[in-house]
Chains A and B, each alone.
Chain A
Amino acid sequence: MRTLRTEVVARGTYLLSLTARHFRGRRPRVSHTEIWLAVAVVSSVALAVVHSPLVPLPGVITLLLVPGATVMSILKTRSASTAARVVLAVCLSLMVIMVVGGVASLLGPHLGIAHPLNPWPESVIWFIIAIVVLVIGDVNHHDPVTWIFEGLQTTHVVGALASGLLVVLSILGAAQLNHSGNDHLAVFATTLDVVVLLGGIVGGWRRTSRWPLNSLLYSASLALLVSTSLRGAHLYGWDVQHEFAVASATLRFGVWVVPANHDAYASMLSLTVLPAILHSLVKLRLLAFFQLVVPAILALLPLAVFSTVRGVPRWITSGRTTPRPGLAFAVVVALIVSGVAFTTELTSITRQAMGLTMMAALVMVLFDRTMLKRPAQIVIGLLIVATSFTHYSTSYLTAAILLGAWPLSLMWSRGLLGTPKEKIDRHRREMRSRNIINGTLVGVALIAAFGWNLGITRNNALTNPISAVTAKGFGFTSSTLTRSLSPSQFEQLIVRELRKTDSWIVPVPSSNSVHLVAAPFLKSPGVVPSLNAWWDELSYLTIESLWVLLGVALLYGLFRLGRRRSYEFSSDLVGIAAAGLFLGGILRFSGTFASYYDPDRAAIVTAILLASPLTLFLDDVVSFLYEMGNLHRDQVRRVLLGAGTLVVAVLIIGATGLGDLFFGGEAPGAVTARDVQAEEFAVSTPELATAVWLRNNVNSPNIVQSDFVGQVILLSEPGSYALLPEIVPPEVDQGAYIYLSTLNLAGHLTQAQAPDAPYQIAYRSTIGFFNRYFYIVYSTGATRVYH
């Protein structure tokens, strides 16, 4: 780098002559960022020479840390906690990559570069950015790498490496499940993750605890995530298949354009530009992006929340000590890691995984008392904008939350909520420097969310939910769950519904005579199935109690605020919590929204926003109980610790699927290869091959029909054909191509869902019907295509 700099200075480049002036008369000093970049380049080349599969690793780590670290060093802001700095650096790096790729895509074609996301243009762009990063570091006297890693000790690195063994075990468990179907190692790895998380609560209980909780939390979370994301021969889950298709198309075209069809997925830079740049620059395969990089980013979410709750929020100036690390850890494990959406869903909804991580980072900055107000507001603004490029729903939710929190915060800080007139001036003076949420941030959030999604990309993310709410209302009295119907009821319903929506179907004569026979889902029998009902009840009550506790924590915050002791609590804190609980409640209880936004995913949003008030409340409760004079302190500690750990254990055992394995139920694919979830979402090689064959051989205006779940893999390799995810015999078109998956053929199970209605059914596959009226045009033995 030093040689390079000298060469460019010789050419008279302005920026580098500035650097030369900076160094004149001083002994040249190699910065940590220069060393970092040099090591990254050299190790990438060396790994490529030995044909290692880890070639992209140094580049990915560099791209996910250094750009964000540079932004932080330019703003001269950072948290006191290294974990929080890393979270922030990654989120800001994602923003930089998306902005660079987006701008290159918009300007490139006008400058004669038709494919600006291809390797050569990107290499040139990022080479220039690397030089700018180094120059800025020198000029600012804040080296980016030093800026985020200062204070890092060898023990931290040892802790991180040791806890990385959890991730290794999970990867091996997934490999074993994929190859042999044996679940022993996967179950062991998941159990170990649970034990480590529960151990963190106990080990970190004392305020002076020095347990490496950050490393344990990140590693255990990542281990749980990769045990899901690595299942199957392709991507595991539903949405991620469509996301893969979108990323694949961007990679193929070498440029991102605003989608003409208003597709919301293709409008997100997180699914288009981000994976394309990582592929072009460091040869990261798309599968690795979705299976490994996104989980690595998502595992920062609990870390961000933990960084938020383990400190005293910025507005509180006296009367409170730092919460017990173990208590903060327990809150994060209970609210975030034990969320069903976190362990099993978010790895397959990668846009939301990244969006929620950014939201958690935003809340972290908002509450972080070690970051100054003005730079913190700028960072929050940047994260708001980055969220709008990342995930439409999270962007809208962020805007709604800030919009809800701001008036409450404003009214309180103006003294309009019960402050006596004679004290208003003093109250306003005290409040002036406290509030972070202001009109500017709310404006930025609204402009970013609506400007990007409706103004620039004009995507269709809001179309269906708004139509549904307009037609049906919020549906607070209707169920948020999909309900099962009997086969005969379903036949009548589906024929009626599809006649309205797909009247072009020409059914096979006499297809009406084929009647559906209900089929059971594959389930784990359990070790003690007799306790299954008891376990379900306990899990349900624990989860619901958590919601009640969140509400109580919010009321407690309002009570503290109401006493006008603003140094003890904050209106921003209460405003955000109230908005979070309100939105979470709507998304949880609205049957209409449930079809578009899973209540479990909404629960994570609420959890991010309410984690801090809950921790403060619980810490006060624990302190109160400790100080009760008539009880022995050690006894209280043991009871509280035991009860708290037990509650978290129930939640995490349920969320990871260990409860289903032990008491019986539908365990997730991370811990079994047999249950229905694994069968549905773990894609096999023959299924992927069939999807590719259909893409290459069946063109518009042909139609491909599959069952409701069979469409999963077809979303990953979309062709020009039209897809109808329905193969109930009366609704099969005579001229269609029909795809039967492994589950349809070997498992004899077919699933259907009524369009626009929360009804579904599982029935025995009607293979005889297809054999009688159609010909098999493609077969792998495990899959078939009829025509």
Chain B
Amino acid sequence: MSRIAGPGSSKILFPLVIVVLVFAFTPISQVLLRTVDGSFAPSPYSSLALKAPSDGSSGVVSGKPVSVLLTNRTGRAKTYHWSATQKGALISLGEETLDNGRTTTILIPSRGAVTGVLRIGVTGTKIFITVPILKS
């Protein structure tokens, strides 16, 4: 029976080690990253934006809905509870469930809002936008 060890085997051994390392890269790297609590994945976030950014300067007439875009990039489906307030007083509220990576348009009712600033925010976060409300 021929010997495995010897000068000839080293020529095969090293390419073999490299091939194994390259093809097993994904599971190995995942284990290592988990071990050190590290990641290169994008950090999760959500965002809220005026659908028409110019509304920020031109304003929205009281009673008309405010179109906002809600985006979910948290890595999982999430239910968002939003509210629109004016000087602390609740104008409207609702909830929206979004899959990861999706953006949806929410029409925020502004009935009951008076001339001033409407604050639309996601409950439990620091995410909020503001929009000027004009007299109808």
Residues of A within 8 A of B (CB): 43, 46-47, 50-54, 57, 154, 157-158, 161, 168, 172-180, 182, 185, 230, 233, 684-686, 689, 693, 697-698, 735, 737, 774-782, 785-787
Contacts and interface: CB of A to CB of B under 8 A. Distances in A.
B55 A179 contact: no
B129 A779 contact: yes
B77 interface: no
Interface in B105-136: 117, 125-132
B81 to A, nearest CB: 15
A775 B133 CA distance: 11
Contact of A689 (B47, B56, B57): B47
Given A161-B17, A775-B56, A775-B57, A176 B22 contact: no
A778 B49 contact: yes
Contacts of A685: 42-45, 73
A776 B118 CA distance: 11
Given A775-B132, A781-B125, 6 more contacts: A158-B14, A172-B36, A230-B40, A686-B45, A686-B47, A775-B129
B16 interface: no
B56 to A, nearest CB: 4
A787 B131 CA distance: 10
Given A685-B73, A775-B117, A781-B46, A182 B37 contact: yes
A686 B37 contact: no
A777 B50 contact: yes
A777 B129 contact: yes
Contacts of B126: 779, 781-782
Q: What are the 7 A-B residue pairs with the smallest beta carbon separation, nearest first?
A: A175-B38, A787-B56, A176-B38, A777-B56, A781-B126, A179-B39, A775-B56
B90 interface: no
A458 B1 CA distance: 72
Category for how many chain B residues contact A? 35 or more
B45 A780 contact: yes
Given A175-B33, A176-B36, A54 B53 contact: no
B50 to A, nearest CB: 5
A430 to B, nearest CB: 48
B46 A178 contact: no
Given A175-B40, A777-B129, A52 B25 contact: yes
A684 B41 CA distance: 11
B39 A178 contact: yes
Contacts of A179: 37-39
B2 interface: no
| Listed residue (B22, B43, B45, B71) with the most chain A CB atoms within 10 angstroms of its CB | B45
A733 to B, nearest CB: 12
A645 B56 CA distance: 62
B84 interface: no
Given A176-B38, A230-B40, A778-B53, A46 B23 contact: yes
A393 to B, nearest CB: 32
Interface in B65-112: 71, 73
A53 B45 contact: no
Given A43-B22, A53-B25, A735-B57, A175 B127 contact: no
A748 to B, nearest CB: 14
Nearest to A694: B53
B37 A689 contact: no
Interface of B: 10-11, 14, 17-19, 22-23, 25-26, 32-33, 36-40, 42-50, 53-57, 71, 73, 117, 125-132
Contacts of A168: 32
A778 B48 contact: yes
B131 A233 contact: no
A507 to B, nearest CB: 16
Contact of B53 (A50, A178, A697): A697
A176 B39 CA distance: 6
Given A47-B23, A158-B14, A178 B38 contact: yes
Contact of A686 (B19, B36, B43, B49): B43
Contacts of B26: 50-53
A698 B49 CA distance: 13
B55 A777 contact: yes
Contacts of A230: 40
A238 B59 CA distance: 36
B127 A52 contact: no
Given A50-B23, A52-B26, A176-B38, A698 B127 contact: no
A43 B48 CA distance: 44
B57 A781 contact: no
A180 B57 contact: no
Given A233-B43, A689-B47, A775-B129, A172 B32 contact: yes
B63 to A, nearest CB: 19
A689 B45 contact: yes
8 contacts: A157-B14, A172-B32, A172-B38, A175-B38, A179-B38, A686-B43, A775-B129, A778-B129
Contacts of A774: 56
Given A775-B130, A776-B130, A778-B129, A787 B43 contact: no
Nearest to A50: B23
A672 to B, nearest CB: 15
A683 to B, nearest CB: 11
A781 B80 CA distance: 14
Given A176-B36, A178-B38, A178-B40, A787 B127 contact: no
Contacts of A46: 23
Contacts of B54: 787
Nearest to B132: A775
A47 B22 contact: yes
A728 B43 CA distance: 30
A779 B49 contact: yes
A176 B37 contact: yes
Contacts of B48: 778-779
A777 B129 CA distance: 6
A52 B24 CA distance: 9
Contacts of A178: 38-40
A443 B48 CA distance: 59
Given A179-B38, A777-B53, A779-B127, A684 B43 contact: yes
Contacts of A780: 45-47, 127
B39 A175 contact: yes
B48 to A, nearest CB: 5
| Listed residue (B71, B129, B131) with the most chain A CB atoms within 10 angstroms of its CB | B129
B92 to A, nearest CB: 18
A622 B130 CA distance: 72
Contacts of B43: 233, 684-686
A180 B33 CA distance: 12
Contacts of B55: 777
Contact of A776 (B17, B18, B125, B128): B128
Nearest to B7: A154
A26 to B, nearest CB: 25
A737 B57 CA distance: 10
A192 to B, nearest CB: 15
B28 to A, nearest CB: 10
B45 to A, nearest CB: 4
Nearest to B10: A154
Nearest to A177: B38
A684 B125 CA distance: 18
B132 A693 contact: no
A450 B95 CA distance: 62
Nearest to A746: B126
B38 A180 contact: yes
Contacts of B50: 777-778
Nearest to A287: B40
Contacts of B14: 154, 157-158, 161
A57 B53 contact: no
A490 B53 CA distance: 32
Nearest to A230: B40
Nearest to A291: B40
A787 B129 CA distance: 11
B22 A737 contact: no
B122 to A, nearest CB: 8
